[in-house]
């Protein structure tokens, strides 16, 4: 899950994604209990306690050892926990979310916490990482654990699976780190633990919004850095780039995800879906039970505007535009107070490179320390692999305390690179 577009032959052929968990008996250990994981939509553990809204953001509301064999799947892991915590939605209403914390077998002496935002890009709550991880843990997580890093993996879309809702995603990411630090003694984190973020595509969306919002929402947090790959700074730009292509399946969950934080806008968008014909509400709303791969395979090459009575005019109505402006455009909610490593393919076919160029320039002009690599090889999916080694090395330098800024007077180093690790052209 290093990148958000799993454009496999199986996905494009319409085959369903693998079941998130293969049922089998597991021996009980300190964190490997006999009960098996249950989908969030069916698991009563995924509910907020009474009057949770009275707690401060980042407060741990509920915690449990992660059920099943998650530590075995991850590797290099001595324990794993699910933490349900208080956060704040896009309307600045009290909300909650869940994160999964992996404890390394041999923690680094200096204390390092990597908040790793997975691009699950779905409006189906059962696609949330805390459950989907049972279908396979990204190799980045196992590698980080092998280095002695604690790894935090939040369900940053929240209980409504609000894909592309920037403010909620940023808040939930920040509060997941708050929650882990609030439970530091319980989870064995050293007092001097440093922490950084990493995300690609949909994971970078949450990470970037967290970096923007930190100064106003969580001023006590002092991140050492954030690695952001395949950024999608403008949701409208993405829509017009993908709406009738192979990646068109990103549009239905994005439209429903960003609006479900705003009930009146959500109801309006639903009301504008066509009720009959090939492009109808039933087929569009099927995304509510789709994983990312399901979305890609079921909506590929379909014109998303055809689902709406008045086409894109409905999606971009004045009512919806307010949501897009407040929750779908990066660069307007604060200035990151941490060094950033940004990487993106120049030929990115999901989000135009110009959008990321403009975001980087905006932050450079106010002194943010940014190392920005623009890769001339590959596209959106390929860059998830091509840029991985550089992002990993940068994060390792952050945690080792050897990071040395190469920024110029404006705070930035911008370089065009030609890195080709994968055979994929896309």
Q: What are phi and psi of 414, to 5 degrees?
A: -120, 125
Residue 267 annotated as catalytic: no
Q: Name 86's bridge partners.
A: 96
Q: Which of 128, 351, 355, 380 is catalytic?
A: 380
Residue 171 annotated as catalytic: no
Q: Which of 201, 207, 297, 326 is catalytic?
A: 201
Q: Name 371's bridge partners.
A: 341, 413
- Taking only Cα atoms into account, the Rg of the chain, rounded to an integer number of angstroms, comes to 20
Using CA atoms of 387, 388, 394, 398 in order, give the dihedral in degrees to the nearest 10: 140
Longest dimension (CA), the chain: 62
Asked if 165 contacts 257 with a C-beta cutoff of 8 angstroms, the reply is yes
Q: Which of 155, 314, 348, 355 is catalytic?
A: 348
219 φψ region: left (φ > 0), alpha (ψ -120 to 50), beta (else): alpha
Helix (H) or strand (E) holding 131, with range, is helix 129-132
Residues 6+ apart with CB under 8 A from 77: 70, 71, 102, 103, 104, 105, 142, 145
Residue 380 annotated as catalytic: yes
Q: What are phi and psi of 238, to 5 degrees?
A: -60, -45
- The rounded distance, in Å, linking the Cα atoms of 270 and 267 is 5
Work out whether strand 340-345 and strand 412-417 pair parallel, antiparallel, or are unpaired: unpaired
Asked if 414 contacts 376 with a C-beta cutoff of 8 angstroms, the reply is no
- The rounded distance, in Å, linking the Cα atoms of 196 and 184 is 16
Using CA atoms of 213, 219, 223, 228 in order, give the dihedral in degrees to the nearest 10: 0
Known catalytic residues are 201, 348, 380
């Amino acid at each position: 899950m290093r990148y958000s577009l799993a454009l496999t032959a199986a996905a494009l052929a319409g085959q369903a994604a693998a079941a998130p968990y293969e049922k089998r008996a597991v021996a009980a250990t300190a964190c490997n209990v006999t009960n098996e994981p249950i989908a969030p939509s069916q698991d009563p553990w995924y509910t907020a306690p009474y009057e949770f809204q009275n707690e401060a953001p980042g407060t741990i509301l509920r915690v449990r050892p992660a059920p099943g064999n998650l530590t075995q799947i991850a590797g290099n892991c001595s324990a794993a926990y699910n933490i349900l915590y208080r956060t704040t939605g896009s309307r600045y209403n009290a909300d909650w979310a869940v994160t999964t914390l992996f404890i390394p077998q041999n923690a680094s002496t200096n204390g390092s916490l990597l908040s790793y935002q997975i691009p699950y890009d779905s409006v189906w709550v059962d696609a949330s990482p805390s459950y989907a991880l049972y279908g396979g843990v990204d190799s980045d997580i196992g590698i980080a654990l092998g280095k002695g890093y604690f790894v935090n993996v939040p369900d940053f879309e929240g209980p409504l699976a609000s894909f592309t809702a920037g403010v909620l995603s940023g808040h939930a990411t920040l509060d997941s780190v708050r929650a882990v630090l609030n439970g530091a003694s319980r989870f064995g984190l050293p007092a001097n633990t440093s922490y950084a973020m990493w995300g690609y595509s949909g994971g970078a969306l949450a990470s970037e919004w967290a970096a923007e919002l930190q100064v106003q929402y969580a001023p006590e947090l002092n991140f050492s850095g954030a690695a952001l790959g395949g950024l999608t700074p403008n949701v409208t730009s993405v829509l017009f780039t993908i709406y009738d292509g192979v990646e068109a399946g990103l549009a239905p969950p994005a439209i429903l995800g960003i609006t479900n934080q705003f009930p009146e806008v959500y109801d309006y968008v639903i009301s504008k879906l066509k009720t009959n014909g090939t492009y109808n509400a039933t087929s569009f709303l099927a995304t509510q039970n789709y994983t990312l791969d399901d979305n890609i395979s079921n909506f590929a090459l379909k014109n998303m505007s055809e689902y709406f009575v008045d086409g894109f005019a409905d999606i971009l109505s004045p009512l919806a535009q307010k949501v897009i402006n407040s929750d779908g455009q990066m660069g307007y909610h604060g200035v990151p107070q941490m060094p950033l490593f940004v990487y993106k393919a120049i030929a990115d076919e999901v989000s135009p490179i110009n959008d990321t160029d403009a975001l980087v320039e905006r932050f450079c002009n106010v002194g943010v320390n940014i190392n920005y690599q623009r890769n001339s090889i590959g596209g959106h999916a390929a860059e998830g692999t091509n840029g991985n080694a550089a992002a990993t090395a940068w994060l390792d330098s952050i945690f080792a305390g050897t990071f040395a800024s190469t920024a110029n007077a404006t705070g930035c180093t911008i370089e065009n690179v030609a890195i080709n690790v994968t055979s994929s052209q896309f």
